[in-house]
């Protein structure tokens, strides 16, 4: 249309120019201003990006991350097949804070069921600290089948993590690294995983389980090989003791960051081994978890322990044969290793943190209390104390959640709750946590 008007007579051209300048353009400007004002008032400003200058300087602050969600427990099962000769069930504890940074994989021994390990409050405390998931399994079948990852148990683990990643909207579950813990045949399984996929393994704690030589690529994975003193010479478990002792000597001589821990009071049972195992994994996670991958371990740093005398010192101060000494990540773990080797336990000298999110709901003549709590990494949770109007009215637990022979939690899922059937008028409530060595936290008040 513009081209046609420009070819008309001079008088027409003059009229068209006057019309554009004094009628069309001011009207367009007025319409644009009114539209922008209306949009601003209604919160619907949509700037025309085609007319915007390029963005320079500091970029805008990104929106805050989504608020934490509640922690979740998920479970999946797979039947045996003609090539995978064991049924499989896997359960995972997924923390409420994202992204998930790793998975603690706990594997039961032969003939046992470790599915409830995902419900273990003490181990959940370690998982929560590092935004890790916590996974327990039940491989129901011949140990000679599932203990070898290449016979299907590794594929099942990876398949289950893929399913959990979808169900929990946590795709990172399929790629994050693993911290391994295994008992007996489960210790063999975690050792095999360390051999086969070392790039994904943060650390390994096999109790009464080991295997053949590590490949060169796996020598950088820290391991705490463990056994019970009374397994030595035992007709049933003597082989497991030798696997741990020989495996340590063999791999430490090659310079691997490995340690050997012997529980002086145990046979094949776990007793209080977790008091050392959790502290060890906590320190190794802190050492290895990097921004874009796993940090390498420098064995010229850290501490060393004499496996006979249990004397410890920093690597630089150690006077004995360093390649025969247990390598430990720091002084705290070295002192715990020494204490455990002498006594079979590690004493906790600090009180736990107070419970959180304590609430009280009255229904008729009773009051229901609920709360959250994070287990003490050093000694777990022994009990909770309930106070009404400043007076102790109940103690839950002792232990609140114990462990059995294979380190599975008992009971599986105790409720963090209490019902007061004699509340009286206008009661006030407080709850405290008592750790495994009897130390009490500050009290939390109901809101």
- Integer Cα distance of 315 and 303 in angstroms: 5
Beta-strand pair 201-207/223-228: parallel
Note whether 157 and 291 are same-domain residues.
yes
Q: What burial class does residue 323 get, using C-beta atoms within 10 Å of its C-beta: 0-12 exposed, 13-18 middle, 19+ buried? A: middle
Kindly provide the residue ranges of all beta strands, DSSP E only, lying in 152-241, ordered along the sequence. 178-183, 201-207, 223-228
Same domain, yes or no: 191 and 104: yes
Q: Please state the rounded mean pLDDT for residues 416-420.
A: 97
Query: Does residue 243 share a domain with residue 104?
Result: yes
- Can you tell me the distance from the alpha carbon of 320 to that of 289, in angstroms, rounded to the nearest whole number? 30
Chain segment 31-59, per-residue pLDDT in tens:
443 434 333 333 333 333 333 333 333 33
Token readout for 26 is 């001011």
Both 368 and 334 in one domain: the answer is: no
For the record, the structure tokens of 149 come out as 């990852």
Q: In which element (H, E) is residue 34 found? A: helix 25-41
Q: Is the pLDDT of residue 66 over 60?
A: no
Strand pairing report for 223-228 and 178-183: unpaired
Position 211 confidence tier, pLDDT thresholds 50, 70, 90: confident
257 and 121 co-located in one domain: yes
Inter-residue contact 221 to 329 (CB < 8 Å): no
pLDDT per residue as tens digits for the range 90-135:
999 999 999 999 999 999 999 999 999 999 999 999 999 999 999 9
Q: Give me the sign of the Cα torsion angle 331, 132, 187, 227.
A: positive
Residue-number span of the structural domain to which 388 is assigned: 356-445
Per-residue confidence (pLDDT) for residue 185, from 0 to 100: 96
What total of structural domains would you count in the chain?
3
Q: How is the chain split among helix, strand and coil, in percent rounded to 5?
A: 35, 25, 40
Question: Does pLDDT of 312 surpass 80?
Answer: yes
- Are residues 122 and 80 both part of a single domain? yes
Does one domain contain both 180 and 304? yes
How confident is the model over 184-203, as a mean pLDDT?
Answer: 97
Tell me how far apart the alpha carbons of residues 107 and 190 are, in angstroms, rounded to a whole number: 8
Query: What value does the mean pLDDT take over residues 291-319?
Result: 97
Check whether 353 has a pLDDT greater than 70: yes
**Which tens digits make up the pLDDT trace of 138-156?**
999 999 999 999 999 999 9
pLDDT at 364: 93
Q: Does a structural domain hold residue 54?
A: no
Mean pLDDT rounded to a whole number for the chain: 88
**Residue 97, pLDDT score:** 93
238-253 vs 185-196: helix crossing angle, rounded to 10: 20
Same domain as 363, residue 387: yes
Domain assignment present for residue 37? The answer is yes
- Averaged pLDDT for residues 223-227: 97
* Residue 8 shares a structural domain with residue 116: no
In this predicted structure, what is the pLDDT of residue 68? Answer: 52
Residues 6+ apart with CB under 8 A from 196: 149, 150, 154
Please report the pLDDT score of residue 1 as a whole number.
39
Is 338 in the same domain as 400?
Answer: no
Instruction: Please write the tens of the pLDDT for every residue from 313-329.
Output: 999 999 999 999 999 99
Residue 419 corresponds to which tokens in the numbers above? 């019902």
CA pseudo-torsion sign 392, 393, 396, 399:
positive
Query: 281 and 428 share a domain?
Result: no
Q: How far apart are the first and last CA of the chain?
A: 74
Residue given tokens 């295994």 in the structure block: 182
**Model pTM score:** 0.84
Q: Is residue 210 part of a domain?
A: yes
pLDDT digits (tens, 9 = 90+) for 234-276: 999 999 999 999 999 999 999 999 999 999 999 999 999 999 9
The angle formed by the CA atoms of residues 23, 24 and 29, to the nearest 5 degrees, is 105
Q: How confident is the model at residue 447 (pLDDT cuts 50, 70, 90)?
A: confident
């Amino acid at each position: 249309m513009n081209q046609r008007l420009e070819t008309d007579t001079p008088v027409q051209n003059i009229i068209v120019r006057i019309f554009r300048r004094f009628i069309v353009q001011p009207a367009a400007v007025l319409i644009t201003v009114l539209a922008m004002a209306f949009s601003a008032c209604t919160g619907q400003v949509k700037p025309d990006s085609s007319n915007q200058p390029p963005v320079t300087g500091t970029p805008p602050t990104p929106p805050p991350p989504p608020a934490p969600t509640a922690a979740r427990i998920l479970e999946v099962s797979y039947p045996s097949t003609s090539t995978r000769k064991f049924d499989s069930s896997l359960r995972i504890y997924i923390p409420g804070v994202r992204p998930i940074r790793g998975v603690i994989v706990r594997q039961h021994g032969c003939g046992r069921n470790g599915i409830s390990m995902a419900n273990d409050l003490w181990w959940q405390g370690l998982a929560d600290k590092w935004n890790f998931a916590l996974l327990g399994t039940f491989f129901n079948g011949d140990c000679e089948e599932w203990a070898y990852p290449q016979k299907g148990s590794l594929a099942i683990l990876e398949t289950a993590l893929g399913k959990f990643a979808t169900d929990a909207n946590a795709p990172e579950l399929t790629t994050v690294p693993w911290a391994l813990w295994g008992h007996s045949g489960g210790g063999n399984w975690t050792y095999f995983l360390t051999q086969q996929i070392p790039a994904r393994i943060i650390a390994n704690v096999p109790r009464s389980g080991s295997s053949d030589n590590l490949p060169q690529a796996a020598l950088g994975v820290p391991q705490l090989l463990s056994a019970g003193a009374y397994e030595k010479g035992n007709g049933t478990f003597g082989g497991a003791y030798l696997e741990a002792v020989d495996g340590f000597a063999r791999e430490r001589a090659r310079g691997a960051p490995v340690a050997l821990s012997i529980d002086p009071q145990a046979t094949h049972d776990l007793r209080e081994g977790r008091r050392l195992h959790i502290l060890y994994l906590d320190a190794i996670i802190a050492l290895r978890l990097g921004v874009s991958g796993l940090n390498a371990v420098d064995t010229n740093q850290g501490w060393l322990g004499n496996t006979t005398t249990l004397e410890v010192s920093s690597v630089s101060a150690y006077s004995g044969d360093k390649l025969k000494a247990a390598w430990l990540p720091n002084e705290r773990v070295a002192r715990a290793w020494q204490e455990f080797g002498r006594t079979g336990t590690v004493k906790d000298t600090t009180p736990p943190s107070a419970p959180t999110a304590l609430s009280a709901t009255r229904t008729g003549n009773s009051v229901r209390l609920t709360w959250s709590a994070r287990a003490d990494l050093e000694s777990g949770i022994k009990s909770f104390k309930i106070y009404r109007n400043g007076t102790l009215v109940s103690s839950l637990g002792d232990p609140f959640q114990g462990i059995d022979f294979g380190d599975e939690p008992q009971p599986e899922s105790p409720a963090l709750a209490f019902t007061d059937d004699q509340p009286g008028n206008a009661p006030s409530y407080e709850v405290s946590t008592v750790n495994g060595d009897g130390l009490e936290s500050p009290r939390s008040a109901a809101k």
